[in-house]
Amino acid sequence: MSTEEDTKPAPFWQRLNTFFLFPLQPKPLMYALVLSMCSLLFKALPFLHEVFAVLIVLVGVLLAVSRYSFKVIALGSRGISTAADFPHELDEDWKNLPWKLFGILLVKGFIVGLLEGWSSTLGVIGLFVVCFTLPASMMLLVQTCSFWEALNPAGVIDTIRIVGWPYVLVCLFLFMLSGGSEIAIGMLVPIFQGIILLPLITFVTTYFSWVMSSLLGYVMYQHHQAFGVDLLPGAGGDERRVEQRSPEQIAQQAIDAQVSERITQGDIAGAVGVAYEEQRTKPQDLIAQRRYHKVLLLSDKLSSLLDHATRFIPLLMRYQQTTEALKVFKACRSKDPKFVLDDAAITLALAQAEWRNGEAKGTLALISGFDKRFSNHESVPQAYELAARALVQGLGRHDMAQAILRTLETRYPNAEPTQEVRWLLRQTPTAS
């Protein structure tokens, strides 16, 4: 449990100089120089054609640059922007983020290619959408470490909504930085010749990559509460602060400090007690409820965790924090596989969110027994339809979906979900 910021972070456009200076701090500067020189290692592969040797070495260097970029974003989102304060080791979940980003780019590129095949205008629109949503996908990838959630349109839109109108400025600055890298390389090519050109280009590319990463990390830090990101000790220590704090902010930060201190001392029960009292008196406060949930996850109070989740998840959904609500639900399910919600609409909404994430099995797990628990609810046909989609489009189980269609035709013959499932199974003969 991290301590909240003492003051409100300044807008990112007021800190542009710090983003440009980040790669020039001693540690990243030395690392960038080492990686640049490593680009010459293709000379150590004489048994390969020079083109292939250069390609192999540059892929390795690019992977190292990308991993450090994600480290900069992830730690920046937690309020750490000084490289000297970075932990030496990478978090295990961050190590595969470059490959996941590569997969995301492949998927989005494939979609743009399809659109381009249909119409050049659609291709241009698709490319614009991909470029515009890529920063949000990267922030979502750092936050969740999930390939599918970073591709989820609902999660991307939610990320853009959290950042608000400055998201357009973020995209503009990133575009300018990307262009700046190309301009710098274009200036180097006529001046330098021969083997020295490769490490120079590598250094420029690395420099601008880490500037962009520093910017993205700070934008996430600006909105860390909305993203549900825990700050690390010393967060925001180098930024120019807004001195005024509201009484509510001061009170919340004092409680965070109490909870963090008890957790550090191993007094989980004491931390639960402090967090419980705050959430009890502020049932509609997301910060208080989120704090209590995180502390309960550290405790052995399973019944309290599950009982609180039945109130916390609806609150998150009311604030349109669907991704976090689904995360809370899964955390409770991992503790108790029988955990369910007693609200049909929220259960269905979570299942729909899981389906948008591409998780067919997770979708079915969420709505398992839905028709029995909420037998008279108006959303039962929609739950049947969602189950059929997960079975057919996610698992290829047309046979099981046929049973759902028979149930729909018996109970809701004229309902729209019945028509949808019938259309879904149009190429599969209906069992008599």
pLDDT in tens, 154-176: 889 989 998 989 999 999 999 99
Please report whether residue 100 resides in a domain: yes
**Of the residues 276, 309, 339, the one at which a domain ends:** 339
170 and 93 fall within a common domain: yes
Q: Given a cut of 60, is residue 356 above it in pLDDT?
A: yes
Please report whether residue 64 resides in a domain: yes
∠ at Cα 147 (383, 351), nearest 5°? 10
Which amino acid, residue 272?
V
Q: Percent of the chain, pLDDT > 90?
A: 33
Domains held by the chain: number:
3
332 and 349 fall within a common domain: no
Contact 158, 317 (CB under 8 A): no
71 and 53 fall within a common domain: yes
Spatial distance between the Cα atoms of 333 and 328, rounded to a whole number of angstroms: 9
pLDDT-derived band at 135 (thresholds 50, 70, 90) equals very high
Name the more confident of 250 and 420: 420
294 and 263 fall within a common domain: yes
Least confident of 225-229, 264-268, 296-300: 225-229
32 and 111 fall within a common domain: yes
Please report whether residue 269 resides in a domain: yes
What's the chain's average pLDDT? 85
174 and 201 fall within a common domain: yes
**Mean pLDDT over residues 217-239, rounded?**
76
Any idea what the CATH number is for the domain that residue 258 is in?
1.25.40
Any idea what the CATH number is for the domain that residue 350 is in?
1.25.40.10
User: Is the pTM value of this prediction over 0.85?
Assistant: no
The pLDDT value recorded for residue 7 is: 54
417 and 376 fall within a common domain: yes
362 burial via Cβ count (<10 Å: 0-12, 13-18, 19+): buried
**Mean pLDDT over residues 367-371, rounded?**
88
pLDDT-derived band at 319 (thresholds 50, 70, 90) equals confident
The pLDDT value recorded for residue 245 is: 53
Spatial distance between the Cα atoms of 195 and 210, rounded to a whole number of angstroms: 24
Whole domain around residue 97: which residue ranges? 12-225
Helices within 164-246 (DSSP H only) = 166-191, 197-222, 224-227
Segment 232-267, tens digit of pLDDT: 766 665 554 444 455 666 677 788 888 888 888 888
**Of the residues 196, 225, 254, the one at which a domain ends:** 225
Q: Given a cut of 80, is residue 53 above it in pLDDT?
A: no
Please report whether residue 240 resides in a domain: no
70 and 151 fall within a common domain: yes
Name the more confident of 305 and 83: 305
275 and 398 fall within a common domain: no
pLDDT-derived band at 83 (thresholds 50, 70, 90) equals confident
Please report whether residue 239 resides in a domain: no
The pLDDT value recorded for residue 8 is: 67
Please report whether residue 129 resides in a domain: yes
The pLDDT value recorded for residue 429 is: 47
Largest interatomic CA distance in the chain:
78
**Of the residues 339, 360, 380, the one at which a domain ends:** 339
Please report whether residue 57 resides in a domain: yes
Which residue's entry shows tokens 């520093």? 214
Closest CA to 392 of 363, 368, 360: 360
The pLDDT value recorded for residue 2 is: 41
153 and 88 fall within a common domain: yes
Please report whether residue 235 resides in a domain: no
89 and 176 fall within a common domain: yes
Packing angle of the helix pair 50-77, 97-118 (nearest 10 deg): 110
**Mean pLDDT over residues 17-39, rounded?**
91
Contact 261, 109 (CB under 8 A): no
The pLDDT value recorded for residue 329 is: 93
**Mean pLDDT over residues 122-137, rounded?**
91
166 and 24 fall within a common domain: yes
